[in-house]
Amino acid sequence: MPEQSDERRRFHRIATDKPVVIRADGVQHTGIVLDVSLRGLLFAVSDGWRPQHGTQAQVRLRLGGDDCCIDMHGAIAHVDGDHIGLHCSAIDLDSASRLRRMVELNLADRELLERDLAQLIAD
């Protein structure tokens, strides 16, 4: 788990309880997002799904109505009980804009957001 703690130092995480739909290996799972950052998210599922590290997944984080969501593609970074971490490898422009706005509103500090964005670009 050293990678996880390193990531937490580089990217600020925003606590939330938004619903999420995960698609992996042709199966759909539902859950709740526990926190989100510019680099990925941590979610919990209730159906007992325990993916392997590196499993590719698509997630849709619902922010409000059907049209307002954040879509990410990525790989499972860690599994701890029913908590699953996803490392984002691709995000569309609209989703990236919504995620940036969500982080910006919750950080309440533009400098922290700019530092996270600079780190994301440097990676």
**DSSP per-residue string spanning 62-117:** E-SSTT-EEEEEEEEEEEETTEEEEEEEEE-HHHHHHHHHHHHHHH--HHHHHHHH
DSSP code for 26: T
What does the pLDDT read at residue 66?
A: 62
Rg, the chain, Cα only: 14
Please identify every stretch of the chain with a pLDDT value under 70, giving residue numbers as ranges. Answer: 1-11, 65-66, 107-123
Residue 67 belongs to domain with CATH number: 2.40.10.220
What does the pLDDT read at residue 77?
A: 96
Domain enclosing residue 109, as ranges: 2-122
Q: How many domains does the chain have?
A: 1
